[in-house]
Structure 1
Amino acid sequence: MNAHDTFLARHSFIELTARERARALLDKGTFRELLGPFDKLESPWLAMQNIVCQADDGAVIARGTLGGEPAVIAAIEPAFQGGSIGEVSGAKIAAALEMALSECEAGRPIRPVVLFETGGVRLQEANLGLAVIAEIQAAIVALRRHVPVVGVIGGMVGCFGGMSLAAALCSALVMTRQARLGMNGPEVIEQEAGIEELDSGDRRLIWSMIGGEERVAVGLADTLVEDDTDQVRDAVLAAFTRGVPKRHRTEDVDGYLARLAQVNPDAIDPDTLRNLWGTS
């Protein structure tokens, strides 16, 4: 198969909805949604601000098997409010992870996957969203003692804000080339610091700084994949095969302080950072 045929054979992961992504990763025929649209768990706050609600609040929770093992997937829908995390959507994700923790503590290991596609907290319900993101983070830390917690950042929204910290807490992080990962999004930085600080319209610059290829190259994510559903699934399965790492990234505080000490903020660019922090 030549390069052209390989490209045509790909099945885009990014173009799928959250529900389709979860279904595509689980073993065929095992997808079962929990708290789906027919349960009508929608935000009680958006309607007050004349924003049309969504019956699942933009978070899809699915049970099934992954590589023949029990699994739970929490997938964020980027098409609804930019994948922002509100009270209901965040509570669904936190509850799914806490359910997985209970299963593990009862001696029934389960494979937890979080499909990130979010700008962070939903501004219309900010305090509630921030509180539930903290619950998500706590659940990941508790769960990763038992089994790997695997995160996937697809695109094109990426993963920002408090949920970028949740992604960093995962045992393994898979990113596509189109994905982005950062604490503050480029638009926010430009808005707050000015275009002289960062031009959010400079796509080449943005992806060279926070895109999937760069994040994997400097060790802030683990696996780079093309926008192909099979590649994403294979990377997720490989992460579970590797098992719980001896030490998670977020536990290496001294190591990251030493890495930061190498950086001169007045003379830093993506290539320099790769030279300093590159893992290959």
Structure 2
Amino acid sequence: MADTNIQRLLAQRSFTELGARQRARALLDAGSFRELIDPFARVMSPWLARQGIVPQADDGVVVGKGLIDGQPAVIVAIEGTFQGGSLGEVGGAKIAGALELAAEDNRNGTPTRAVLLLETGGVRLQEANLGLAAIAEIQAAIVELRQYQPVIALIAGPVGCFGGMSIAAGLCSYLLVTREARLGLNGPQVIEQEAGIDEYDSRDRPFIWSLTGGEQRHASGLVDAYVADDVEPIRQQLIAWFRQGKPALQRSRRHAWFLERLQGVDTSIQAAAAAVRRAYQGEQP
């Protein structure tokens, strides 16, 4: 038994330790990865250098085409180590364009599915209005594509998924997280800045993960599956969902279900992880 456990541990490959390009390649079928608008195309933000920020040749977004389970797929990975995974004009256009082309593929008879690897704080402040417009286009493209094929989002860590891209994640057909993931509309530092440290201490990591971490979000029904930080189980979950097909009811169509539970939350007191779980699970406080 001990030898089996050791072999299992040795076989694991951490997904969160991989860069965006490595993540995209790892989830596609072996040898099928082909990058679109790669760094050698030199398509980067024209706005960052003007503000004294060194731009990145791919603007922090990797878009690849390939196969998953032998079927056509487009995969988008946001590099969380570049500008906190924030989205501006170029990176946002790459994501929206990839999803729009996938929808066009489906209309032309090629059943292309999509995977979004989200490590992002949302809109890039240096390109605020352009970033907001890009995220709106991404959201519209997700809604269009999910009519044909499942759109799957994965939040693995360590950046998490916040801001407008957390809404994009909620629009996806399926949402997968690891224990290291975080998901929320506003990030901890933003909440602390607006509501005060007594309301939300951004340095209190156990408290933050207890409310917005992957395990909690899964227990609250806000995501569809919760897996270990291991490439192969993540890939197998993607394959299972693609084989299952589109959900009978998209999460964004279940707003009444969520609103009913939120109405029972007492906002006069600080939220606690156990109380949040009970609320989403329909239990009395």
- TM-score, structure 2 length as denominator? 0.95
Alignment-derived partner of residue 279 in structure 2: 276
Letter in 1 for 2:10: L
Farther off after superposition, 187-196 or 93-102: 187-196
1:17 is the counterpart of 2:32: no
CA root-mean-square deviation: 1.2
Moved more, 62-71 or 191-200: 191-200
After TM superposition, list the pairs within 5 Å mapping 1:1-280 onto structure 2.
1-267=3-269, 268-278=271-281
Q: Using the TM superposition, give the Cα deviation of residue 8 of structure 1 relative to its aligned residue in structure 2, in angstroms.
A: 3.3
Deviation per residue, 1:42-69 (Å, 9 max, x gap): 0000000010011110000000100000
SS at match of 1:73: strand
What one-letter code is carried by the residue in structure 2 that aligns with 1:204?
P
Q: Deviations over 1:72-97 (max 9, x none)?
A: 00110111111100000000000000
Give the 4+ runs in structure 1 shifted more than 2 A: 1-9
Aligned residues: 279
Give me the identity figure in percent: 57
Report SS of the residue matched to 1:182.
coil
Cα distance in 2, alignment partners of residues 261 and 241 from structure 1: 36
Taking the aligned partners of 2:38 and 2:20, their CA distance within structure 1 comes to 12
Unaligned runs of 5+ in 1: none
How far, CA to CA, are the matches of 2:224 and 2:5 in structure 1? 25
Task: Note the C-alpha offset of 1:278.
Answer: 3.0
State the AA in 2 paired with 1:18.
A
Question: What secondary structure does 1:22 align onto?
Answer: helix
- Measured after TM superposition, the shift of residue 3 of structure 1 is 4.0
Cα distance in 1 between the residues matched to 2:114 and 2:209: 28
TM-score (norm 1): 0.97
1: CA distance between counterparts of 2:194 and 2:266?
22
Task: Measure, in 2, the Cα distance between the counterparts of 1:224 and 1:82.
Answer: 23
